[in-house]
Structure 1
Amino acid sequence: MEHLDVLVVGAGLSGIGAAYRLQTQCPDREYAVLEARESIGGTWDLFRYPGIRSDSDMFTLGFPFHPWKAAKAIADGPAILEYLHETAATYGIDQHIRFGQRVLRASWSSADALWTVETTQALYTCSFLYVCSGYYDYDSGHVVDFPGQRKFQGQVVHPQHWPADLDYSGQRVVVIGSGATAVTLVPAMARTAEHVTMLQRSPSYVASRPAHDSFSDRLRSVLPERLAHRLIRGKNVAFSTAVYSAFRRWPKQAAWLLNRTVAKELPDSIPLDPHFTPRYKPWDQRLCLVPDADLFKVLRDGSASVVTDEIETFTPTGLRLRSGADLDADLIVTATGLRMVALGNIRLTVDGREVDPHDTFVYKGMMLSGVPNLAWCIGYTNNSWTLRSDLSSQYVCRLLNHLTATGTSICVPEIDRSEYDAPRRPVVDLSSGYIRRAAPLLPRQGTRGPWRLRQNYPRDLVLLRFGPITDEAMQFRPAA
């Protein structure tokens, strides 16, 4: 059994950022990063489907301490993965990573003020457990059992399990879905496929954005690297925050603006309604980003098309739709979404009591009510993931330093009864299908104060970087 002061779970974007903050802001704390896979990168190592890319600009998705240097602001998956490897190597973080260490369970002892953490390979103890594995299930995506699927004589592929040797050149491809994965796959596959059809039950809001940020390029050409990075990052944060706030405040006007912009990009053969007129308000679900209007380009040149309908059944040669139409296909890609899990599916117990994450409330968007010395790192849904995850890591470091300064060993947020009995909301408050399916599994948020998770970076910056560590909810005590 090995003891570490802090165990970080996950060597993706969040875990690497957490490791940097720990070794720079808590240099007296010994840490290790436990990674279930055999390589770093998390999401950016797992997903290998064509066109995989960020849907946030890299000046905010990248780390504030390691500026993004590549030309494209909207980067592809391989470039992001290379950036993560470079960051881990530059700061020696890769020397702290233990690979092939899937965490199975973690047990807290108040008497010892320790977590006992069991992985597939070893047993550890730690004083603080920081789960940075995000909230996606890395083992499988959301799979729909479509009627008649076994009849289909072609190949069916889920984007999360993309075969490395899949050759779809010259084939007729149907991509089922309308979310971020689908709008990424369609233009990428249309380059070599005979034709790609995006089949959607209902459309999503789509926003086009240049892959290159010309203003940022000019700043980087005349200013020192770190100063330029700070200014670009600040500009992008301010812009995205203002747009999100405006869209939520004036949803009708936002829908009109988004639809008007899309209508200008579409060919006459594809009407805006029903193919690009969603049934929900903007930002009830995450916007789908289309860099350089690549989706609309393949729709205009005829190498791709969009069909809004429902699947009645698979057939030997493709799909039969509710309208009675048939779609012929050689390859069908089921971009039907992801599965969400809480805390990497780690089984938690506190003093012998099993913890169901759904029965807990999130404190300051990262800690769980009644669970000592544990934080869960999640990012924003309306902004770059890293903006929130980096704030969480800096707060964890402040919390650890407070424990040292006060001579205490245990910190645990406790929710009061009035908040517990108030109407409950899921920790991720969007109406997307994958979030609704996971609602019974995820922790919840309250209605006010530190139990409310607000999608507001400037507010969180003040609270987590400069706000007080002590409050009525957070309890500090020594080991028993």
Structure 2
Amino acid sequence: MAAEHLDVLVIGAGLSGIGAGYYLQSRLPGKSYAILESRAELGGTWSLFRYPGIRSDSDMYTFGYSFRPWTADKSISDGGLILDYLRETAAEFGIDRHIRYRQRVIAAAWSSSEAKWRVDVETGENRERRQYTCGFLYVCSGYYDYAGGHAPEFPGRENFRGVVVHPQDWPGSIDYAGQRVVVIGSGATAVTLVPALAASAAHVTMLQRSPTYVTSLPARDKAATWLRRHLPAATAHRLARAKNIALTMFFFAFARGAPETFKRLIRHAQKKFLPADYAFDTHFRPSYEPWDQRLCLVPDGDLFKAIRAGRASIVTDRIDAFVEDGIRLQSGQVLPADLVVTATGLKLQAFGGARISVDGRPLELGRSHTYKGVMLRDVPNLAFCVGYTNASWTLRADLVSQFVCRLLAHMDRHGHAQVVPRTEAASLEPSLPLLNFTSGYVLRSLAQFPQQGARAPWRLRQNYLLDLFGLKFGPVAHSALRFSRSTPETAAEPGKAAA
């Protein structure tokens, strides 16, 4: 069968891919595009994760799309409502008609002589091969490995008579009512699970090796609710979004600039919910600085409330071994358990695991560098979407898709077939990790991901305002971009049209 050709091929029908579809068809209506999704439904993370209590860890006025207002009551929203929002968005704008399900991209090869990508895909349960070609490839697959989460080997696990489950593989049939539950972990998944499980479990223990920064945030945004009551939905959404962007940027800058004061404010917020004699330093005093790892938000203090009510507790210790009826700690204490939830983190996977090559040369992602956190050095006609680690993912996803559309429109106006970022290797030093975070799930996977340079435009800046001007309003042509009509031999001067 001949390969189907499209102007733009998008990989992934999650939050980023659906947003990409909206911008492609609204900004470039003459271009053909398709979204390839490896799973049987859209939604990405929000259709994959089904564990109790799953919710956003950003407010929905910034986590939702700029082009479609979030109208549900909660600002920190349940996962099911987010999935409904994504489905409704795809249906409302006809994006769902462009999604090809059960199509997993396994390889993409660029040909400079043809000025196109040849994309190999496995389709369906039988993994039949199919091929596409496209002029531009846009990777919106996020960075989670959907095949499974991080599951370390625990000594004696085979001796445990209860059930062990990872949140990423949560079975719908599991019954934890009246059960003694231990949740291993202290990140966003763990602090979400504990209060949700505690509602019906006999008791839930969050077992952590070390503390995390955890603070409360109202589940409902009173200011946004007032705006929605008094203003048209679109206007209210824009104002609520702008307010929350400003607050997020302020608190991040405050945390990094005055970390000791920020720590005192977090402790003050925790003391509102927990007894004065609670062991705060043992369970809520991290060894790292604020925002070296992502801050955990608990809506309306639900985690703290579960602890105060005696339905949940935190133990800070290390595992010695699993035993028949629970977990023995290095301190000698045994935590009794019927169910153990290993919220031990996720695995990361760059570009959905697809193999990338350029003119027959395999690309080593770990040795490549990003241009504006959107493109890759020496890789033509390819963009990828990575959101913020210090704010809502969608804020940056929106800007990246708008930049891709501006880039394609610029190429059309000037008759360009190819664009590739280039620079001398020396200008990239010292190289930095793309995801400059100290979380374990990030550190385990750094070698799989591109690097960033120390200076613009080879830096992924964790700053919405800088990206707003750089990606949405700044000039598309740049001295680091080489545009050409067809083959490398006809490449234009940096940032200029080919002769």
Interval containing the TM-score (normalised by the shorter chain): over 0.9
> Equivalent residue for 2:250?
242
> Equivalent residue for 2:67?
65
Q: What are the residue-to-residue correspondences of 1:241-390 with 2, within 5 Å?
A: 241-268=249-276, 270-390=278-398
| Deviation, structure 1 residue 267 | 2.7
> Equivalent residue for 1:453?
460
Contact 1:50 1:189 in 2 (8 A): yes
Equivalent position SS for 2:117:
strand
Q: Which amino acid aligns with 2:287?
A: R
Q: Which amino acid aligns with 1:86?
A: E
Q: What are the residue-to-residue correspondences of 1:82-121 with 2, within 5 Å?
A: 82-121=84-123
| Deviation, structure 1 residue 255 | 1.5
Contact 1:53 1:74 in 2 (8 A): yes
Contact 1:267 1:299 in 2 (8 A): no
State the number of aligned residues.
Answer: 479
Instruction: Give the TM-score taking structure 2 as reference length.
Output: 0.95
- State the alpha-carbon separation in 2 of the partners of residues 366 and 5 from structure 1: 19
Contact 1:13 1:386 in 2 (8 A): yes
Equivalent position SS for 2:207:
strand
> Equivalent residue for 1:227?
235
Instruction: Give the TM-score taking structure 1 as reference length.
Output: 0.99
| Deviation, structure 1 residue 357 | 0.7
Unaligned 5+ segments in structure 2 are 124-129, 488-499
Is 1:471 paired with 2:478? yes
| Deviation, structure 1 residue 424 | 1.6
Q: Which amino acid aligns with 1:282?
A: P
Task: Return 249-258 or 237-246, whichever deviates more.
Answer: 249-258
Equivalent position SS for 1:27:
coil
Equivalent position SS for 1:102:
strand
| Deviation, structure 1 residue 417 | 2.5
Equivalent residue for 2:219, pick from 211, 220, 225: 211
What per-residue deviation string (whole Å, max 9, x for no partner) do you get for residues 325-366 of structure 1? 111100000000001111111100100000011111111111
- State the alpha-carbon separation in 1 of the partners of residues 336 and 290 from structure 2: 33
Contact 1:5 1:127 in 2 (8 A): yes
| Deviation, structure 1 residue 130 | 0.3
Q: Which amino acid aligns with 1:159?
A: P
Q: Which amino acid aligns with 2:329?
A: L
| Deviation, structure 1 residue 225 | 1.0
Equivalent position SS for 1:440:
helix
Q: What is the identity percentage for the equivalent residue pairs of Structure 1 and Structure 2?
A: 56
Equivalent residue for 1:423, pick from 418, 430, 452: 430
> Equivalent residue for 1:160?
168
What per-residue deviation string (whole Å, max 9, x for no partner) do you get for residues 112-153 of structure 1? 001000110221000000000101101111111011111111
> Equivalent residue for 2:492?
none
> Equivalent residue for 1:34?
36
| Deviation, structure 1 residue 207 | 1.3
Q: What are the residue-to-residue correspondences of 1:385-396 with 2, within 5 Å?
A: 385-396=393-404
> Equivalent residue for 2:131?
123
| Deviation, structure 1 residue 448 | 0.4
Question: Any runs of at least 4 consecutive aligned residues in structure 1 with deviations exceeding 4 A, and if so which?
Answer: none
Q: Which amino acid aligns with 1:468?
A: P
- State the alpha-carbon separation in 2 of the partners of residues 435 and 449 from structure 1: 23
- State the alpha-carbon separation in 1 of the partners of residues 294 and 423 from structure 2: 30
Is 1:80 paired with 2:82? yes
Q: Which amino acid aligns with 1:81?
A: L
Equivalent position SS for 2:448:
coil
Contact 1:10 1:33 in 2 (8 A): yes
| Deviation, structure 1 residue 268 | 4.8
Equivalent position SS for 1:178:
coil
Equivalent residue for 1:136, pick from 144, 162, 177: 144
- State the alpha-carbon separation in 2 of the partners of residues 219 and 316 from structure 1: 55
Contact 1:170 1:193 in 2 (8 A): yes
Equivalent residue for 1:437, pick from 426, 444, 448: 444
Q: CA RMSD in A?
A: 0.8
